[in-house]
Amino acid sequence: MTPKSVFPLLVAGPIAVVAAAGFLALAQESEPESQQAKPVTNDEFVSIFDGETLKGWDGDPKLWRVEDGAITGETSDADPIEYNTFLRWTDGEVDDFVLKLDYRIFGGNSGIQVRSFELEKPYAIGGYQADIDAEGKWAGTNYGEQFRGILAKRGQKTVIKEDGKPEITGELGDSDELAKVIKSQDWNHYEVIAKGNTITCKINGTVMSEITDEDTDTRRRAGLLALQLHHGPAMKVQFRNIELKRLPLGDLKKIVYVAGTPSHPPRAHEHNAGALLVAKLLNENHGDEVLVTPYLNGWPRDPSAFQNADAVVIQSDGGPKHPAFWHLRQIDYLREKGVGIGMIHYAVEMVPGETNDTLIKATGGAFEINYSVNPHWDANFGKLPGHPVARGVKPFDILDEWYFNMRFLPDMKGVTPILSAVPPDETMSRPDGHHSGNPEVRKMVAEQTPQHVCWVVERPDGGRGFGFTGMHFHDNWANDDMRKVVMNAICWIAGVEIPENGIETPTPTQEELDANLDPKPAPKPKKKAA
């Protein structure tokens, strides 16, 4: 779909034509090389290394490069490294997955870090490591880098007990015999499979080790992916054909939270800070039910991002700046798979026609230019429906940029309003415009017709969706009832059973609200009067 195919579907009329021209110019400015990207399916492996550059990877540039189509790490005796150093994949983190790659090593020791974490020293990583070495002594071992030491030697099947110590529960073969399938100074195929709390290492199609981590205080379900250079004598290691496929979590609901790029003045449209705050609150307080994975500053660069999602939530600017604007096919694919889809604030809007139709199918409603409006007003939510998303929410009122007069599915089929309020007359103080007013909405405000600013939908595909037009102001996350509506909606579309008191999270502290705010440009100085 090209921009030209979007805009003939705009609402007719002179105002719409002017608005469409402006949006079209913006869309063309932001047009990517491939307009509507082909969706990534749940059952395919995706490449996370382009074979030419270290784009999407970060490590010491003195040690890492691309050579012969392979990520290459090399140390020297003339300038030895003082500690183990790593090249980290920066486009995402890994949870449940299958990772495939080819490696070869010339001297020394290396490894593949999974579900790992950063240490204090630059380029230092700790966590689970699928081991690699030149001598063939350790390759296939699962080693805890700065993380409890050896977890399973090659040939072992272990259970990590609550004390953090491995207990051998089975044999996979003799270590020396297993080593015979590993080629020295030649390409080998490594496969790491992480499912639940079990991690399996395979080399050249042979299972080398398997751990099941029952150390509930220390084990990790998600974290960094990285490649190792070991300190000591000079060494060289190469990796190529790096491919990833995510696996359904099963015991947890996976929520992918996409945050848009910065736009507004400080403390408004803080999409990144909002995503990180929601992830922190839900992962820390409901980590036995959900795993929230945030992606910041726009559409994920991680091609596997949505493969095991139970729900996708987008908090962003809208129109052609919407992260999903050029990824409608991915949204359609997720919807058809029954994945929950939610939109927060400006993310409820794209452009009338195909893009907005995609939103409406997925979430039940959307903001439509020259029809919907976006004034700031103090909304009073005095009555709440008997729906799971309203559980535990008490009546409240709060100032926000509450969009209203949404374009919903025909006859509101499957749609349930959650937050509704009567807009005051001052919401119509601006002249008519593509976001500010029109005769139809003016009549409804004059007649005090309640407007729906948060809604949910149960879709024919079996999935769920929601739209929430508030959260212009970042500090509104501190309102317990407003926050509970959003948390309930996020968890509900993921398939979580909402308890009687709702999804409870502690009120964010000022420090938490201040964390991760986008850097904003300094205000332009006012011109002096002549």
pLDDT tens across 404-434, in order? Answer: 999 999 999 999 999 999 999 999 999 999 9
The 10s digit of each residue's pLDDT in 281-303 is: 999 999 999 999 999 999 999 99
Write the DSSP assignment of 293-307 as a string of letters: EEE-SSS-S-TTTTT
pLDDT confidence band for 2 (50 / 70 / 90):
very low
In Å, the largest CA–CA distance within the chain is 88
Evaluated on CA atoms 11, 17, 22, 28, the torsion sign reads positive
pLDDT confidence band for 526 (50 / 70 / 90):
low
Report phi then psi at 340, rounded to 5. -70, 140
Residue among 45, 357, 16 at smallest CA distance from 192: 45
d(CA 46, CA 241): 10
Average pLDDT over residues 438-466: 97
How far is the CA of 134 from the CAs of 406, 415, 499, in angstroms? 63, 60, 54
d(CA 354, CA 360): 10
* Answer CATH for 249-514 from 3.40.50.800, 3.40.50.880, 3.40.50.300, 3.40.50.2300: 3.40.50.880
Average pLDDT over residues 453-470: 97
412: left (phi over 0), alpha (psi -120 to 50) or beta: left
Q: Are 274 and 474 in contact (CB under 8 A)?
A: yes
pLDDT surpasses 70 at 170? yes
Query: In the 3-class helix/strand/coil scheme, how is 7-36 assigned residue by residue?
Result: HHHCCCCHHHHHHHHHHHHHHHHCCCCCCC
The 10s digit of each residue's pLDDT in 299-319 is: 999 999 999 999 999 999 999
Residue among 418, 417, 439 at smallest CA distance from 428: 439
Q: Which strands sit side by side in the sheet containing 142-145, from one edge to the other? A: 57-58, 85-89, 224-229, 109-118, 125-133, 142-145, 149-152
Element (H, E) at 111: strand 109-118
The CATH 2.60.120.560 portion of the chain extends over 46-246
Q: Which of residues 445 and 27 earns the better pLDDT score?
A: 445
The 10s digit of each residue's pLDDT in 106-157 is: 999 999 999 999 999 999 999 999 999 999 999 999 999 999 999 999 999 9
The CATH 3.40.50.880 portion of the chain extends over 249-514
How far is the CA of 201 from the CAs of 172, 211, 307, 352, 385, in angstroms? 11, 9, 22, 50, 50
Position 34 scores a pLDDT of 46
pTM here? 0.93
pLDDT surpasses 70 at 208? yes
pLDDT surpasses 80 at 233? yes
Position 524 scores a pLDDT of 67
d(CA 129, CA 112): 5
Q: 46-246: what CATH class?
A: mainly beta
Position 530 scores a pLDDT of 53
Percentage of residues in the chain with pLDDT exceeding 70?
92
Position 37 scores a pLDDT of 86
